[in-house]
Chain A
């Protein structure tokens, strides 16, 4: 091993060439191969997205047609409604956005893009997925215990989350907390792997500024996650003890303080937004130059901007608590930091637009998704300004304006950017091209209903429609808006229906799609060097050497319009 290190690791790993046939279990279930683990995470994440989507369908049907039995569920009472809303939010963030964007794309991209044969700690990687899978089982199981799943909102504020007498879900609340805690443990392990791998296992010649942006962003996201989740883990231990009436950390009657949870939760919760945003925006940063055939505008600035965003994200959390009784002077400080953080994000958007400017743009499906990400995220970002300012937030707080705002950030992150990544790397992962026509039908069928669905929620919020209420027709001043709710629900049904196009596209392409070339998008990064469906050990023809950054497209004086990182001249 040491011998190989000295000779520049150009030779293929000896052990991997002589692989005997592995059984199904050791190859797909207990594998330590990063590519298999990436698939496991992505498929599990998509499966959880179906559950989260089903929950959205159930509570949207209740809102549009209150009191009527929902096909496939039944009557949705207030308890079930709260359960569905809570677990929809929890699942979509912790079991969809994180596993797919960080763990799925991270496991796929990092070793391939930095020219490594695997993660540096493959067995830790496997353990991380297994704990994650266990957390999925726990959160799904929480639906089937007496009292049903937890219904105290994904933010789990005490006393709703600590007192079974209030939440009415004695078992659900504890299982929810355990599930989330296990998920955190899984991602801490994964994060340590991502950071260490990128720091230490880069191929010969790959300097810091030669690392593709998506790898950088997943690493920064992992560091943010690691540094922000600690206090919440401590807080979760405290909440667990409170739930069993051993302690009273969050109970004022016993000398505790319910606001403490809000601080701990949002100290994690706000960086968490950037934990999922950065990989998503990184995927787009890697896709846009490929389909614009142009160098990424200002690589170093994008990178340092992300680092600045990460640092700032630790000092904005209290903008979630403007109405929770915090000192107004503190609220002013948090208003300033919150508005400051829009600067680096706006700058990233400008960089992408500058990358597009003057490029020869190909509107392939991945590019459409990446462009849609920017457009939709912009709406989310701009409406955030109203919520970051105390004056307007006090009015908008906990209304549908907030719901619309964060869906315009989270749907681009966990749906649009995920589809951008899946459609972009599908040829490498499967060896087949996806069907372009079906891909475009799926794209427009997802993005258009999504946009109308959540645009309609802004006026609803401004009209005073509060979140987490199962039936608005009982409020005279809100009953008149019922048509809007029905339209939103129809938009959701259309959006869900179009997802079948995607699944059909995947199944059809896997069977009879066009065979993909090794580098179908003519991209520069190293993952396109390995054979399609990367084998164990990835670089079977020996490790490459890196000579330049990843975004050299349309370089003047070169015959080809791309210049792979491993090509000397």
Chain B
């Protein structure tokens, strides 16, 4: 199945490259998904004073470390974009892989957190026979849904950056570095909202 890029893709009535425009609409659709989830959480949180107690179980140092890791990864992806502009594809390839490495660290820390939190919760919500009582409180529902959805975006982003990086090595589709960078910044920005809402607010 050979594929030829249609003329339509190369046009630019707005003056913005089509790929970038498309990526911004992807980000717009993602903003409302996370926005919906975060607004629901906020409304619940405002109506439930008890959630501060639940939030005290989230591990702030781990969250802070992950914030640092993600912000650094955003720097790497910007650096890769800048290097593409300067024509240094070898170096750009390297920086894209630094970004992926950061995503890996982020997910490792997240794994550690989930393990600790779930173990902790099993401890608090288990009766003497070792059976779970009920389900996780709603705070944890939101915590796992929001951070889990975010982690899925990190995984997806890392895979796409990997694909883009091999294109960079071959010198194909260099514009994609910018587009994947836009997406990666969005993933970063979501975390900037999640961290204070789930970790810092006790």
Contacts and interface: CB of A to CB of B under 8 A. Distances in A.
B34 A5 contact: no
Interface SS, A side: helix
18 contacts: A2-B10, A4-B10, A30-B1, A117-B7, A119-B6, A188-B29, A192-B25, A196-B22, A200-B18, A200-B21, A227-B29, A230-B29, A230-B31, A231-B32, A233-B33, A234-B33, A255-B48, A264-B36
Interface string A412-449: 00000000000000000000000000000000000000
A485 interface: no
Interface string B34-60: 111101100010001000000000000
Interface stretch (A8-16, A99-107, A336-344, A469-477): A8-16
B14 A199 contact: yes
B134 interface: yes
Given A231-B35, A231-B36, A246-B136, A200 B12 contact: yes
A4 B7 contact: yes
Given A2-B10, A226-B32, A231-B36, A238 B16 contact: no
Interface of B: 1, 3-14, 16, 18, 21-22, 25-26, 28-37, 39-40, 44, 48, 134-138, 140-142, 144-145, 149
Interface stretch (A120-128, A356-364, A493-501, A505-513): A120-128
A111 B33 CA distance: 29
Nearest to A247: B141
A228 B13 CA distance: 27
Given A120-B6, A196-B25, 20 more contacts: A13-B4, A26-B1, A119-B8, A120-B8, A121-B22, A123-B3, A196-B18, A200-B11, A200-B21, A230-B30, A231-B32, A231-B39, A234-B34, A237-B37, A238-B145, A241-B141, A248-B134, A249-B138, A249-B141, A267-B36
Contacts of B9: 118, 120-122, 201
Nearest to A260: B40
A229 B136 CA distance: 27
Contact of B145 (A26, A123, A226, A237): A237
Given A226-B25, A233-B33, A248-B135, A118 B13 contact: no
B28 A227 contact: yes
A201 B9 CA distance: 7
B33 A231 contact: yes
B174 to A, nearest CB: 14
Interface string A363-375: 0000000000000
B36 A230 contact: yes
A254 interface: yes
A264 B40 contact: yes
A567 to B, nearest CB: 21
Contacts of A320: none
A235 B28 contact: no
A117 B135 contact: no
Contacts of B7: 1, 4, 9, 13, 116-118, 543
Interface string A6-42: 0001000101100000000010001010000000000
A13 B7 CA distance: 7
A118 B6 contact: yes
A113 to B, nearest CB: 12
Contacts of B149: 234, 237
Contacts of A537: 6
Contacts of B44: 257, 260
B58 to A, nearest CB: 17
A300 interface: no
Interface string A318-340: 00000000000000000000000
B162 to A, nearest CB: 19
A197 interface: yes
A245 interface: yes
